[in-house]
């Protein structure tokens, strides 16, 4: 048998070893045990413990220049008897495992090292296994490529490669696959991909840029786009911007996207907290720092400051077209229409809206279970409760002060149940109470009457809710009686511990909105308001009706049986109650100077509309950008 015929082939790397080798010279893999004769070496003694570092025979090592002629790449079937016995008797070295994994993922077109037979990627200038250089023929082929391969994330490229290879268009040369990868990156719609990233990062700028350029909010991610974004934990094939906003709880961006979907109107909301997000964050941080907990028998949280948010008087000084755009971008069109529609709940009296300048406006709010807390924060500080500071204060107050809230809540609910001719046992009352306390601690969950009552104690001021009488479906069908309308007083505090200026909220079909006035008199009109018989005019006051349009007193919630029948007297104890010339009972709402941070936020918001008004002024008048804004689809679903 000739020396070349006696060579044994390594099962791991296919390298042909000389008979004297007990391990593969290239990868150090074990020699297969075939017969005892293979261990005999003519003319020399064989020591099984020797460590061979040179490739050679009994006659000596081969010359380096002739070495490649004795190496031929072999492919051994994985199902052969020799391979199976090798798998059973030994495990491959770690280096071989990596090499075999690389070979399994290799495609036609890789260049094969003439020294060790390892298949390398086309961009490799040296063999990844043995460090040998590519030959001249292979180098000339690589140099003819019109592109250079950039340094990219290997896992990212592998994902793109898998997408291309699985797309049903196999390429005979891996160079074509790499070229397709570069083509995908160059031709990708980065305006759309940046919008997807903006939703994940909570940045509205790329989302607004995509929508303003005519982008489709219902567009879905493709497999190649998911591979380009290279964040498998965040993006999935078929997802839209709405899916991403819901998945990552971006309520503000979700509202922007919902307004763009066909059938829901179009437009972008521009509320002060969105225009100045850093100031809004500072306001929320400051508000959280003002929350205290009173020591004693009633451990309820309370706030230290009592601001009341109102629209700046300068809004009325803007040109008509700019003023119309401002209100379209700020207000909740649906809520405003429902509250003012027949039978009207707000702004039903010309005496209040015109003569006393006390028109109420429903601010746009996020569509989520946090709308009650958001509306309270808007009515006071002009921001949303995005950090859940108010919700935490609410949950702690009901949990730690439950022994004070529970008896009044139970008595009030029992009296309401008696009108409907049903009653509950003690176990059912405790179960309902536990559920209400649990709801307060879960962000995104809708809240009930008890929570409005508790918020009046945290804010240390009355809350007046103007709401629809019946909850209706989208088809206009009455679904049930809405119980939120009425006055909520901080009855469990001492009156001296609270302020008499109320807040106004609106309730429409499962959604709360902040109801705020405009500052009563603009800077350009300093004339005093018309005098009325029973009202002391105050330049920084507005007036909230305590009656409905049928002149019936609004219900006062959570009164005990002993307090029923004395509603008007109780209102006068907690509010500055006045009577208009037309006989309407109203509560006086004082508008104090804005806190500094709130004033700065409102100024930044107004600057946008001031710039628009300058565009309409002579001598450089030009049409302002026309944008169709609405709040349709943003306010009701929770």
pLDDT of res. 250: 79
Residue pair 504/464 in contact by the 8 Å Cβ criterion:
yes
**Lowest-pLDDT range, 14-18, 229-233, 261-265, 438-442?**
261-265
Q: How many CB atoms lie within 10 A of CB 184?
A: 16
pLDDT of res. 432: 93
Q: Is the pLDDT of residue 604 over 70?
A: yes
Residue pair 282/597 in contact by the 8 Å Cβ criterion:
yes
User: How many angstroms from the chain centroid is the CA of residue 630?
Assistant: 22
- pLDDT tens digits, residue range 495-535? 999 999 999 999 987 889 999 999 875 433 334 444 443 44
**Pairing mode of beta strands 119-120, 111-112:** antiparallel
Question: What distance in Å separates the CA atoms of residue 426 and residue 405, rounded to the nearest whole number?
Answer: 16
Place of tokens 């009425």: 486
Which residue intervals of 260-342 are DSSP H helices?
272-275, 277-289, 320-330, 333-340
pLDDT of res. 317: 87
DSSP E strand stretches across 98-234:
111-112, 119-120
Known catalytic residue: 70?
Answer: no
**Pairing mode of beta strands 511-516, 361-362:** antiparallel
DSSP states of 548-573 as a string? -TTSPBPPB-S--TTTTT-HHHHHHH
In sequence order, which residues have a C-beta less than 8 Å from that of residue 453 and are 6 or more positions away?
Answer: 405, 409, 488, 557, 558
Higher pLDDT, 278 or 66: 278
Q: What is the mean pLDDT of residues 124-150?
A: 57
Residue pair 546/488 in contact by the 8 Å Cβ criterion:
no
- Tell me what percent of the residues of the chain surpass a pLDDT of 70: 69
Higher pLDDT, 433 or 478: 433
Q: For the chain, what is the mean pLDDT?
A: 76
pLDDT of res. 174: 62
User: How many angstroms from the chain centroid is the CA of residue 3?
Assistant: 71
Task: Give pTM, 2 decimals.
Answer: 0.59
- pLDDT tens digits, residue range 543-585? 999 999 999 999 999 999 999 999 999 999 999 999 999 999 9
pLDDT of res. 142: 42
Known catalytic residue: 127?
Answer: no
DSSP annotation of 535:
B
pLDDT band at 446 (very low <50, low <70, confident <90, very high): confident
3-state secondary structure 199-243: HHHCCHHHHHHHHHCCCCCCCCCCHHHHHHHCCCCCCCCCCCHHH
pLDDT of res. 145: 40
**Lowest-pLDDT range, 16-30, 296-310, 444-458?**
16-30
Which phi and psi (to 5°) does residue 28 adopt?
65, 25
pLDDT of res. 113: 82
Question: What distance in Å separates the CA atoms of residue 228 and residue 196, rounded to the nearest whole number?
Answer: 12
> Which pair of tokens denotes residue 392?
């935490």
DSSP annotation of 503:
E
Residue 485 zone, left/alpha/beta (φ > 0; ψ -120 to 50; rest): beta
In sequence order, which residues have a C-beta less than 8 Å from that of residue 182 and are 6 or more positions away?
Answer: 147, 150
Residue pair 29/14 in contact by the 8 Å Cβ criterion:
no
Number of alpha helices (DSSP H) and beta strands (DSSP E) in the chain: 23, 18
pLDDT of res. 473: 54
Q: Is the pLDDT of residue 598 over 80?
A: yes
**Lowest-pLDDT range, 78-82, 183-187, 201-205, 325-329?**
78-82
Question: What distance in Å separates the CA atoms of residue 245 and residue 367, rounded to the nearest whole number?
Answer: 12
Place of tokens 């809350």: 463
Residue pair 115/71 in contact by the 8 Å Cβ criterion:
yes
Query: Which residue among 239, 457, 511, 557 is the active-site one?
Result: 511
pLDDT of res. 614: 84
pLDDT of res. 524: 34
Residue 436's nearest CA partner among 406, 408, 475, 474 is 406
Please, what are the domains in the chain?
A: 8-105 (no CATH), 190-258 (1.25.40.560), 272-613 (3.90.70.80)
Q: Is the pLDDT of residue 7 over 70?
A: yes
- pLDDT tens digits, residue range 395-418? 999 999 999 999 999 999 998 888
Question: What distance in Å separates the CA atoms of residue 103 and residue 12, rounded to the nearest whole number?
Answer: 11
- pLDDT tens digits, residue range 34-80? 544 434 433 343 343 343 334 344 334 444 444 344 433 333 344 44
CA distance readout (Å), 23 to 32, 83, 85: 9, 16, 16
Query: Which residue among 127, 196, 371, 498 is the active-site one?
Result: 371
> Which pair of tokens denotes residue 389?
């500071």
Question: What distance in Å separates the CA atoms of residue 413 and residue 423, rounded to the nearest whole number?
Answer: 10
């Amino acid at each position: 048998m000739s020396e070349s015929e006696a060579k044994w082939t390594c099962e791991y790397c296919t390298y042909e070893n000389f008979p004297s080798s007990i391990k593969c010279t290239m990868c150090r893999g074990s020699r297969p045990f075939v017969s005892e004769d293979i261990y005999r070496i003519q003319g020399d003694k064989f020591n099984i413990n020797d460590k061979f570092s040179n490739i050679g025979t009994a006659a000596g090592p081969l010359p380096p220049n002739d070495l490649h002629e004795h190496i031929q790449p072999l492919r051994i079937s994985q199902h052969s008897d020799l391979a199976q016995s090798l798998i059973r008797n030994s495990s491959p070295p770690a280096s071989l495992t990596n090499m075999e994994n690389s070979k399994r993922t290799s495609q036609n077109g890789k260049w094969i090292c003439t020294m060790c037979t390892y298949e390398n990627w086309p961009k490799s200038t040296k063999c990844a296994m043995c460090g040998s250089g590519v030959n001249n023929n292979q180098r000339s082929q690589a140099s003819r490529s019109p592109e250079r391969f950039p340094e990219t994330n290997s896992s990212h490229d592998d994902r793109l490669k898998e997408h291309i290879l699985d797309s049903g268009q196999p390429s005979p040369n891996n160079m074509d696959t790499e070229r397709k990868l570069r083509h995908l990156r160059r031709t990708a719609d980065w305006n759309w991909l940046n919008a997807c990233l903006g939703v994940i990062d909570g940045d509205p700028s790329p989302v607004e840029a995509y929508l303003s350029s005519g982008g489709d909010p219902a567009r879905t991610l493709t497999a190649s786009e998911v591979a380009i974004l290279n964040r498998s934990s965040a993006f999935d094939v078929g997802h839209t911007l709405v899916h991403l906003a819901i998945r990552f709880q971006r309520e503000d961006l979700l509202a922007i996207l919902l307004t763009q979907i066909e059938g829901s109107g179009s437009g972008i909301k521009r509320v002060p907290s969105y225009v100045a997000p850093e100031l809004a964050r500072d306001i929320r941080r400051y508000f959280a720092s003002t929350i205290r907990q009173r020591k004693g028998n009633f451990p309820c949280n309370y706030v230290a400051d009592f601001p009341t948010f109102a629209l700046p008087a300068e809004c009325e000084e803007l040109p008509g077209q700019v003023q119309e755009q401002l209100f379209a971008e700020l207000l909740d069109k649906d809520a405003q229409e429902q509250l003012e529609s027949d039978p009207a709940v707000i702004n039903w009296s010309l005496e209040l809206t015109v003569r006393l300048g006390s028109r109420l406006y429903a601010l746009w709010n996020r569509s989520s279970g946090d709308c009650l807390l958001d509306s309270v924060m808007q009515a006071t500080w002009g921001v949303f409760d995005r950090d859940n500071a108010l919700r935490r204060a609410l949950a702690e107050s009901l949990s730690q002060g439950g022994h004070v809230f529970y008896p009044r809540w139970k008595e009030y609910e029992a009296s309401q149940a008696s009108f409907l001719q049903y009653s509950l046992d003690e176990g059912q009352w405790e179960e309902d109470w536990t559920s209400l306390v649990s709801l307060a601690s879960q962000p995104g969950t809708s809240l009930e009457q008890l929570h409005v009552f508790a918020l009046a104690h945290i804010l240390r001021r009355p809350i007046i809710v103007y709401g629809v009488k019946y909850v209706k479906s989208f088809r206009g069908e009455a679904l049930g009686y809405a119980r939120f309308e009425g006055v909520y007083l901080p009855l469990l505090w001492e009156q001296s511990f609270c302020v008499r200026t109320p807040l106004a909220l609106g309730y429409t079909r499962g959604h709360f909105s902040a109801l705020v006035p405009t500052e009563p008199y603009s800077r350009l009109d300093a004339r005093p308001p018309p005098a009325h018989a029973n009202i002391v005019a105050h330049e920084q006051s507005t007036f909230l009706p305590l009656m409905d349009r049928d002149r019936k007193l609004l219900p006062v919630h959570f009164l005990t049986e002993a307090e029923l029948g004395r509603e008007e007297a109780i209102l006068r104890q907690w509010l500055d109650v006045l009577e208009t010339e037309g006989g309407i009972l109203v509560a006086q709402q004082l508008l104090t100077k804005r806190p500094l941070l709130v004033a700065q936020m409102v100024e930044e918001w107004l600057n946008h509309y001031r710039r628009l008004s300058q565009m309409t002024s002579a001598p450089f008048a030009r049409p302002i950008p026309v944008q169709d804004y609405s709040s349709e689809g943003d306010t009701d679903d929770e």
